[in-house]
Homo-oligomer: A and B are copies of this chain.
């Protein structure tokens, strides 16, 4: 290809899309035209990418004509309908929804871990993993390469922006109500009552108050009481790491953080691994930063991670009672590595392939 490839960003005005535009503006510019696409509600808006204003175009089949790579940052059902249309018009679709992730004919790609998988895409579609799974994949991929992962027990501390812009807006609204009060969080229901009084029946994407609270639920209900988010962590980790029998239990919990997911991970390997060896392997891993000196108060937190590209790993401990097992704490910006950044990295793999 002599011209630079054309990129379409579908869902350019959402929470992930907004971060995508700044990521595309920051990274080495491999793209020719960047076409911004959204639903009727947002078409016609003008957004800035690479320092230039671009008018958002309506999502319709012809918008994909001449497009080489089409990224989708939209709900599952929109991707399910439109990614195949983009492919039929000649684009490779890189989809950040859950619509295609477990399709055996769609690779699920984390470039640092299984980038080669992107080359084989029978449907012309490549899937971007769920943000919770992505938070730990770079670190676990590096450890798995050396010691062979066999078991994962994960508890998440997930940010409001995992529920999109409505999640962010709701958390800010709730913090506006509780901030300055010193009488809340001391009696059952007092936070609910304060929110109801000030915010009325304004819809929340969360099934309980998030300010001054944690909510052990994300996604939809599946068999056995599992949430869809918890099953994604299991099934997507297995597919990305190529360990079909990886044993996984996850409990997914929303916390009052705007952006950046955190995970407490209990990871068991086939062979013995020490903390020093893990530090060494992670120091060499791409896009992973080890922050692990609690004596100096150094460990990853969401407030220190948000806006950064790498994932941060700390609190690495050898389990006292479980052989070949490490306990660790991982943070990652759920809108960047957890979504837009990983999608951009996949798209760049395709751009390199086309050039």
Chain B residues within 8 Å of A192, by CB: 303-304
Measured CB to CB, the closest approach of chain B to A93, in angstroms, equals 29
| Segment with Cβ contacts to B, from A30-38, A62-70, A97-105, A204-212 | A204-212
Partner of A185 from the list B247, B259, B292, B325 (CB cut-off 8 Å) is: B259
Q: Are A214 and B262 in contact (CB under 8 A)?
A: yes
Count of chain A residues near B, Cβ 8 A: 78
A306 at interface by CB-CB < 8 Å: yes
- Provided the pairs A153-B153, A179-B180, A258-B185 are in contact, do residues A303 and B172 lie with their beta carbons within 8 angstroms? no
| A325–B175 alpha-carbon span in the complex (Å) | 37
A299 contacts partner chain B, Cβ-Cβ < 8 Å: yes
For A177, the chain B residues whose CB sits under 8 A away are 179
- 8 A Cβ contacts from A222-278 to B: 224-227, 234, 246-249, 251, 253, 255-259, 262, 264, 266, 275
Contact across chains for A253 and B329 when beta carbons are under 8 A apart? yes
Do residues B258 and A212 form an inter-chain contact, with CB atoms below 8 A?
Answer: yes
A178, CB-defined interface residue at 8 Å:
yes
Q: How far is the CB of A19 from chain B (nearest CB, A)?
A: 10
Option from B181, B185, B255, B305 in Cβ contact (under 8 Å) with A303: B185
B contact residues around A295 at 8 Å (CB): 221
Closest chain B residue, CB of each to CB of A226: B317
Give A302-343 as 1s and 0s: 1 = Cβ < 8 Å from B's Cβ atoms. Answer: 111111100000111111111001010100000000000000
A54 at the interface (CB under 8 A from B): no
